[in-house]
């Protein structure tokens, strides 16, 4: 991989690379600005350019989340410390039918795991207990990826806190009279109708380990 960088961008990239190698995390914008003798805004602009050119990966939802993908001194993302700091990815090598057979064609591309599972300070995981959401393909033992939110749109799957601090995972619908219907995705279970609830988050994804 050959990336065209300016001398100033290389200077910033080297500083972030060396800082990560020494301390295991990326520096803050303030630390980088002080070390390089420039403004915090200048560091921010250089990082944006480095991200656009593919030299780094930034998770804007987390502080110090700068992964080095390109070493300006010759090592490319798979070697040494630069490789260890890169965003994990897995190869997507094609498609397979779960119904009738199709011709197997390999068409590889790499998917970063952050494209499949959102990350950031507002994201957390919960382990599911029970089968009330089984028809939405959320099974007992699965992990749900939850975005921390205090509001929910009709029909979203939410983490709801009921009276008595009881937590449940259901689709939430507003009902007449200011009430809420918590709808399970299991035909054998009845909905829960409540007057008050607290929303602690909305489901963004499901992780299931093959077993």
CB 121 within 8 A of CB 190: no
pLDDT band at 8 (very low <50, low <70, confident <90, very high): very high
Winning range, highest mean pLDDT, from 52-56, 146-150, 180-184:
180-184
Q: For 98-133, how does the pLDDT look when each residue is reduced to its tens digit (9 = 90+)?
A: 555 555 555 566 666 777 777 777 888 899 999 999
Question: Any catalytic annotation for residue 170?
Answer: yes
- What is the average pLDDT across 27-45? 93
- What is the average pLDDT across 66-77? 73
Supply the mean pLDDT for the chain: 82
CB 200 within 8 A of CB 155: no
Whole-number Å distance between alpha carbons of 211 and 204? 23
Q: Model pTM?
A: 0.56
Q: For 189-202, how does the pLDDT look when each residue is reduced to its tens digit (9 = 90+)?
A: 999 999 989 999 99
Catalytic residue among 23, 89, 95, 132: 132
Catalytic residue among 23, 40, 53, 170: 170
Strands (DSSP E) contained in the chain are 56-58, 66-68, 89-94, 106-112, 123-127, 143-147, 157-162, 166-175, 179-183, 192-194, 198-207
* pLDDT for position 102: 52
Q: Which domains are present in the chain?
A: 7-87 (1.10.10.10), 123-207 (2.10.109.10)
Question: Any catalytic annotation for residue 131?
Answer: no
* pLDDT for position 80: 40
Whole-number Å distance between alpha carbons of 147 and 129? 19
């Amino acid at each position: 991989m050959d990336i065209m960088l300016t001398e100033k961008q290389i200077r910033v990239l080297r500083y972030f690379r060396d800082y990560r190698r020494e301390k295991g995390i990326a520096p803050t914008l303030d630390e980088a600005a002080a070390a390089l003798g420039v403004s915090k805004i200048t560091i921010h602009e250089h990082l944006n350019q480095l991200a656009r050119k593919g030299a780094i990966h930034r998770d804007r939802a987390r502080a110090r989340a700068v992964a080095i993908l390109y070493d300006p001194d010759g090592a490319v993302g798979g070697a040494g410390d630069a490789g260890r700091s890169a965003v994990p990815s897995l190869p997507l090598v094609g498609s397979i039918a779960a119904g009738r057979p199709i011709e197997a064609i390999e068409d590889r591309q790499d998917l970063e795991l952050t494209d499949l599972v959102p990350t950031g300070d507002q994201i957390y995981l919960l382990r599911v207990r029970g089968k009330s959401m089984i028809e939405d393909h959320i099974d007992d033992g699965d992990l749900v990826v939850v975005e921390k939110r205090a509001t929910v749109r009709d029909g979203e799957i939410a983490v709801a806190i009921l009276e008595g601090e009881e937590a449940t995972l259901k689709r939430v619908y507003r009902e007449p009279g200011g009430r809420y219907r918590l709808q399970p995705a299991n035909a054998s279970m009845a909905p829960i109708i409540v007057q008050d609830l607290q929303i602690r988050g909305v489901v963004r994804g499901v992780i299931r380990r093959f077993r």
